[in-house]
């Protein structure tokens, strides 16, 4: 909590290392989240449309609504929780940069709309699958990039 009051990390090497460890773990969380989504629902338009809408030619049923709701619920909670941690540390370390506000806003918007767009895609059409895929990948790439910038500032300054 000292970091939230005083931004001086030069005298708190343990706190700096702990924050670096948390951000490092979150970086791998974002990577494994992409792997999980690729396994569970797919990461290309054809696999996603088969998962969401089924394929009568191959006798594949669409995903059950309760399974999708559970996935969206977990995605929303974990995305906002992990984004909040990354964004708060990023704001504290990079508060003098002009782009900080834009990056944090973009990260939260992508993190919030990604699960919502998956639900919209389930109830509408394939066009929203493409939008979901783009927001999912962009959100994770932005979070990983911000995590790397945090680690660079914490470990190599």
Range of the domain at 28: 10-155
Residue 31 falls within a domain, yes or no? yes
Cα atoms found within 13 Å of the Cα of residue 152, Cβ hemisphere only? 8
Q: How many domains does the chain have?
A: 1
Average pLDDT for residues 130-145, to the nearest whole number?
A: 96
Instruction: Please report, rounded to a whole number, the percentage of residues in the chain having pLDDT higher than 90.
Output: 72
Residue 32 falls within a domain, yes or no? yes
Residue 80 falls within a domain, yes or no? yes
Residue 2 falls within a domain, yes or no? no
Residue 3 falls within a domain, yes or no? no
Residue 101 falls within a domain, yes or no? yes
Burial of 32 (0-12, 13-18, 19+ CB in 10 A): exposed
Residue 76 falls within a domain, yes or no? yes
Give which of 155, 156, 113 is closest to 138, Cα–Cα. Answer: 113
Express each pLDDT in 9-55 by its tens digit. 666 778 888 999 999 999 999 999 999 999 999 999 999 999 999 88
Q: 5 pLDDT exceeds 80?
A: no
Per-residue pLDDT, 1: 46
**Single pTM value for the model:** 0.88
Give which of 94, 84, 81 is closest to 7, Cα–Cα. Answer: 94
CB atoms within 10 A of CB 154: 20
Express each pLDDT in 115-126 by its tens digit. 999 999 999 988
Residue 108 falls within a domain, yes or no? yes
């Amino acid at each position: 909590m000292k970091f939230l009051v005083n931004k001086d990390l030069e005298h708190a090497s343990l706190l700096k290392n702990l924050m670096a460890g948390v951000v490092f773990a979150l970086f791998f969380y974002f990577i494994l989240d992409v792997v999980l989504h690729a396994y569970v629902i797919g990461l290309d338009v054809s696999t996603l449309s088969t998962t969401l809408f089924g394929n009568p030619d191959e006798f594949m049923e669409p995903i059950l609504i309760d399974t999708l709701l559970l996935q969206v619920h977990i995605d929303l909670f974990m995305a906002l929780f992990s984004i909040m941690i990354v964004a708060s540390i990023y704001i504290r370390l990079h508060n003098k940069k002009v782009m900080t506000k834009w990056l944090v806003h973009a990260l939260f918007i992508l993190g919030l709309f990604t699960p919502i767009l998956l639900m919209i895609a389930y109830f509408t059409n394939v066009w929203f699958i493409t939008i979901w895929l783009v927001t999912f990948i962009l959100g994770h790439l932005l979070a990983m990039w911000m995590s790397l910038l945090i680690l660079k500032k914490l470990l190599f300054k």
